Every structure is written in structure tokens, then in C-alpha cells.
Structure 1
Amino acid sequence: MNLNDTNGTGDGQEPTTTPTVVPGEVILDTPVVRGSQTIAKVVIRKPRSGELRGTSLSALMQMDVIALTMVLPRVTVPTLTKPEIEALEPADLAQLGAEMVNFLLPRADRIPASQST
């Protein structure tokens, strides 16, 4: 019997854990700093039709920057402001946009959360 066995496999190695994937969660490459708060993770929740007002679905599907800066403050948790979104690194805006587009797709065409980021 191996006394160092912690995962019950008999190999003495630590158990491997898979990180929990939250649908719509984006880990920012460059965190947003708001006063003394640092925002490193943002969750995009599924928008309702009214939250898409002022833009078009085609603009969102094309990840148009103006459309994203209009809609993302309405669907991000914690809520990112328009100036914070405008100050994001392009890679972070692209990640947020990709999650937004994923919510607009029919369920059968969506990318599973574990593969989207």
C-alpha cells in the first residue's frame, strides 16, 4: 500500500481536477482596474431581445465594435461600463464578442463553454 496515494489510484500522484467552466465566462488577458477593484473575469449572460436595442443582430454577429460597446454593458457581470469596454485590449474585446455571438446562435450551433475560451 502506498501511503502517498491521495487519489485512490495507487500511483501516489495528486488528483487532477478540471477547472469549472461557467457558460459565458471570459478570463481577461488584461484585467480591468476600477478604483481599488481588479476585474479579471467577466461573465456574459444571455441577452434578452430588449437588451439588443439600438443595434442589429448582423452587427453583433460581425462583432462590430460599436455594437459590442453598446450591448456589453447590458449583459456583463460585473457590469462593465462603455468607457471600460472601449479601453479593453483588442484580444479581450474579441473574447467578449465571441461569447456574445455564441449566445445569438441557435442552440444546435453553439460552441460548448469548455471549448469557447
Structure 2
Amino acid sequence: MTTTPTNAKIAAAFTPAPGKSRTVTLDTPLVRENGNTISELTLRKPKSGELRGLKIPDIVAGDADTIIALLPRIAHPTITASEAEQLDFDDIAEITGALLSFLETKMKTAPASEAPTPH
């Protein structure tokens, strides 16, 4: 017998774990076609599958196309690519900083002998 997941179970599956998310308050809130306003986005730490087709160096470089492609995969509330394209420059810069903080956390906690070395 199969069971249907409840709304609470579905929501729990998409709720970021503590320390694995960053919340960004938007300087210029997004206004959806239905009139709803999004004033903050919670970004989940991306999993490898969510990075499919993207290059980590492009995220690090703050490439707008890459960030816009990634946001619908990891943002809560979920936004579309066209909504991500409407983000203000200051907001996309803040979001990029939040994404980079996921990488910094790992690099700061690695022992010096394991820290990445420049090539």
C-alpha cells in the first residue's frame, strides 16, 4: 500500500536544515503577477544535482546567468527564472554573497593541511 505524503511532510522536505540556509531580505521586493510580494528569500545550500549544468567557478565569479539559473532550484519561496531576472542589482549581489558563504564555511573549517591550494 502506498501512502500519500501530507502537506506537512512535503513542507518539511523542502525546509532548510539549520546552518544549511541563508535568508536574504530584498531591498526591492519582488511583486508577482498575482500581486503577492516576496520581501525575503531563504536559500538552501545547493546539493550536487541542483548544480547540474552549472559551473562552480561561475557561481564564485557572480555570473548573473548562473545565479539566475540556480535560484529557482534553491530559493524559498520558490521563484521562477523570470522572477529571478527581475531582482535588483543590490539584491542579486547580496544573494551571491550568501551563496559564497556556503563555500566559505567549508573552507574555514577545514584543517590547514586539507585547505584547498591555488593552482
Partner of 2:31: 33
Partner of 1:10: none
Q: Distance in 2 between matches of 1:105 and 1:54?
A: 22
Q: Distance in 2 between matches of 1:81 and 1:105?
A: 27
Aligned partner of residue 47 in structure 1, secondary structure: coil
Moved over 3 A (4+): none
TM-score normalised by L of structure 1 = 0.70
Q: Distance in 1 between matches of 2:72 and 2:21?
A: 18
TM-score normalised by L of structure 2 = 0.69
Structure 1 or 2: more helix by fraction: 2
Aligned partner of residue 38 in structure 2, secondary structure: strand
Deviation at 1:58, TM superposition (A): 0.3
Q: Distance in 2 between matches of 1:54 and 1:23?
A: 22
Partner of 2:74: 75
- Which protein is bigger by CA-based radius of gyration? 1
Deviation at 1:106, TM superposition (A): 4.3
Deviation at 1:97, TM superposition (A): 1.1
Q: Distance in 2 between matches of 1:50 and 1:43?
A: 19
Q: Distance in 1 between matches of 2:108 and 2:60?
A: 13
Partner of 1:44: 43
RMSD: 1.8
Per-residue Cα deviation, 1:75-98 (whole angstroms, up to 9, x for no partner):
000011111111111000111111
Partner of 1:103: 102
Q: Which residues of structure 2 form unaligned runs of 5+?
A: 1-19, 110-119
Partner of 1:55: 54
